[in-house]
Amino acid sequence: MQQNNWWRGAVIYQVYPRSFMDSNNDGLGDLQGIISKLDYISALGVDAVWISPFFKSPQKDFGYDVSDYRDVDDIYGQLSDFDELINKAHEFGLKIIIDQVLSHTSDQHAWFTESRSSRENDKSDWYVWADAKEDGSPPNNWLAIFGGSAWQWDPQRKQYFLHNFLPSQPDLNFHNPAVQQQMLEEVEFWLKRGVDGFRLDAINFCFHDQQLRDNPAKPEALRRGLGFSVDNPYAYQYHYYNNTRPENVVFLESIRQLLDRYTGTVSLGEISSEDSLKTMAEYTANDKRLHMAYSFELLVDDFSADYLRKTIETLEQKINGGWPCWSMGNHDVTRVLSRWCGEKPSVDMAKMLNALLFSLRGSVSSYQGEELGLTEVEIDREDIQDPFGIAFWPTFKGRDGCRTPMPWDDNLAEAGFSQHKPWLPVAKEHYNFSVNRQQQDEHSVLNSYRHFLAWRKGQAELQYGDITFSSGNDEVVCFERSYQGNTLLACFNLSNKEQEILLDNTSDYIEMEGHGFDGAQFDSNRLILPAYKVFFARVLS
């Protein structure tokens, strides 16, 4: 059973393939580049690799606009490269999770080409089409995440089509049973090739309100960016009708039924809804929908002990047996060190944040470069690639700053990522954080990451245990992880100053060693934590 549930408490390492490693020196990372670094990934101590999209695509949104779900884009390699990647990853004991972008396709997908050609063809109802209002305006007030109306006029059909993201990403019509069946077949294509699971992109966007009702306005005080630009008008609405519709739950159960036929496979859903914690609980309920879900709750600008406590406790109250996956960074948001630490983040804070993430109840998604303590890169206007950033420049500069190439070797051009000019520039400051340099430094973020994960593998409480918040203050997060009668106390100083904490005086504690942190002073129930330090103790009573 534990082998089949390998994902519980697993650490998943996210690879953004364009920026991981370039094997053929064209400036873009590729599948063979990932293969060449599997030994590095394995040495981190992670359990699985999530690979962002590598499918056929015009790359308007860098692979999240799929034109063929069953083939590899030429820039990344061939299907044979993916098969090799699967086999070699499994030799290292690594699971492979791939993105599936089910809610929409590229406008260059053959299905959309046929659908837009007329109102009578076999796929005429495969996408969300609607007539204009009498004045020619869109059917309703729905907005796209990337700005402007979520409706695009198509002169060929003389109708609007729905796109929750870019106009080149038309939404599929999941109210059509044929679409649901087709998407299940696309998923199964990769199951048959041996993948271990799927990260389901924007999975709560599959269904729309068939009545096309307007979304209500959201008061200014409640508008949040959730990892995106707060000046985006998308934040001006409650998105009750263009996503997170009740019909979606039934489709998730169909996905689960398919995965249950392939032993040991897993689904991880990306959630962005009006109440993402509630949706996470709903989508993982009763062990018959998604295996895991994650949201943008720890990908926002808010950072305090109180915010972390409230967020995690709120989810624990709602999730009722479901399983979360926590993430502090990914390819869509400012790198966590820059987002939460300002202009001068410290190495100690990078180590502490990784340890905190790895200690939360649930599974973990760790974005490439977090093991190095990489910061956000300032991209010049002429180098911006992200359509999101181009649309909202200069108040929001897009997502390119977290997608720059991995720095492998500070002695090589382009930090060893490629011998060609990369699609995004390698940051000069990232040379100081290169893999080769950190491997030689016993106290580096990279070695701290490795040491902590090696230690964590021996702590069942951190992998599977319940979580209960305990002693702490405005600057220190403390919680207990309990499993099969054993309990660990974990404390994290989020501040740049020494903190003193009085622990529960009804318990006895033994300080835990071996997790790669030192400097805490512990005497009975009195704990002094230096800036950004971590403390673990076994609770005896």
More confident residue, 188 or 513: 188
pLDDT at 228: 53
Is 201 one of the catalytic residues?
yes
| Predicted pLDDT at 442 | 95
Tell me the CA distances in angstroms from 222 to 204, 225, 272, 309, 363, one per residue in order: 21, 10, 15, 20, 29
User: Does the pLDDT value for residue 347 go beyond 90?
Assistant: yes
Rounded-to-integer distance, Cα 534 and Cα 520, Å? 7
DSSP secondary-structure letter at 415? G
The catalytic position among 154, 171, 201, 297 is: 201
- Residue 536's H or E segment, with its range, is strand 534-539
Sign (positive or negative) of CA dihedral 125, 131, 137, 138: negative
Taking residues 75-98, report their average pLDDT.
98
Q: How far apart are the first and last CA of the chain?
A: 31
CB-CB contact of 528 with 500 (8 Å): yes
- Is 270 marked active-site? yes
Q: Indicate the pLDDT class of residue 3, thresholds 50, 70 and 90.
A: low
- The pLDDT tens digits of the residues spanning 447-456 come to 999 999 999 9
Mean of pLDDT values over 118-139: 98
Q: Assign 3-class secondary structure to 61-116.
A: CCCCCCCEEEEECCCCCCHHHHHHHHHHHHHCCCEEEEEECCCECCCCCHHHHHHH
Cα–Cα dist 319/271, whole Å: 14
Per DSSP, the residues of 139-167 read SS--B-TTSSBSEEEETTTTEEEE-SS-T
In the chain the domains, ranked by start, together with CATH numbers, are: 11-103+175-208+243-455 (3.20.20.80), 465-539 (2.60.40.1180)
Q: Quick one: pLDDT at residue 294?
A: 92
Active-site residue, selected from the candidate residues 81, 270, 282, 297 = 270
What pLDDT band is residue 1 in, cutting at 50, 70 and 90? very low
For residue 2, what pLDDT band results from cuts at 50, 70 and 90? low
Q: Using the structure block, give the residue that is written with the tokens 């490269």.
A: 81
The total of other beta-carbon atoms located within 10 Å of residue 338's CB is 18
- pLDDT in the model for residue 230: 56
- What is the pLDDT at residue 229? 53
d(CA 291, CA 364): 13
Non-local CB neighbours of 30 within 8 Å, separated by 6+ positions? 17, 21, 22, 23, 24, 75, 76, 77, 81
Condensed to tens digits (0 to 9), the pLDDT of residues 154-198 reads 999 999 999 999 999 999 999 999 999 999 999 999 999 999 999
Provide the pLDDT confidence category of residue 504 given band limits of 50, 70 and 90: confident
Q: What is the pLDDT of residue 227?
A: 47
Q: Do the Cβ atoms of 438 and 32 come closer than 8 Å?
A: no
Residue 412 has pLDDT above 50, yes or no: yes
How much of the chain exceeds pLDDT 70, in percent? 98
Convert the pLDDT of each residue in 254-271 to its tens digit: 999 999 999 999 999 999
Question: Which helix (DSSP H) or strand (DSSP E) does residue 259 occupy?
Answer: helix 247-259
Strand partners, 148: none
When pLDDT is cut at 50, 70 and 90, the band that residue 225 belongs to is low
